[in-house]
């Protein structure tokens, strides 16, 4: 009898977890904007802590560029080139553009 109760509680917990995860996913997806770029578009690239000059402090620029979208590497991933046409060494996700 106790084993049946434990199994029922476990099943109920699974249902609650699944419902909670679905609510979290819906809340997250509601605020997401899909960014699509065309080849040749000019974009700014987000700067990261390892590329900033530490002497600039919090007044350092948050974006650098402009860069040109050279090609699409996948869903939401792009290869960038600087204004002279030199390709950057790696691809960039659209959330950082």
Classified as helix, coil or strand, 82 is coil
* 52 and 88 within one domain: yes
Determine, yes or no, domain membership for 48.
Answer: yes
- Helix, strand, coil content of the chain in percent (nearest 5): 40, 25, 30
Residues in the chain, total: 97
Highest mean pLDDT among 1-5, 44-48, 49-53: 44-48
The domain containing residue 24 runs over which residues? Answer: 1-32
DSSP state of 19: H
* 82 and 52 within one domain: yes
- Tens-place pLDDT, residues 52-88: 677 777 788 889 889 999 999 888 899 999 999 889 9
Q: In the chain, how many domains are there?
A: 2
In terms of pTM, does the model score above 0.95? no
């Amino acid at each position: 009898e106790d084993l049946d109760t434990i199994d029922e509680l476990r099943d109920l917990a699974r249902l609650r977890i699944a419902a909670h995860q679905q609510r979290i996913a819906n809340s997250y997806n509601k605020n997401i904007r899909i960014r699509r770029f065309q080849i040749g578009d000019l974009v700014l690239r987000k700067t990261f802590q390892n590329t900033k000059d530490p002497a600039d402090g919090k007044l350092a620029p948050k974006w650098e560029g402009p860069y040109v979208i050279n090609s699409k590497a996948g869903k939401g991933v792009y290869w960038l080139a600087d204004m002279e046409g030199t390709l950057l060494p790696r691809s960039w996700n659209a959330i950082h553009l």
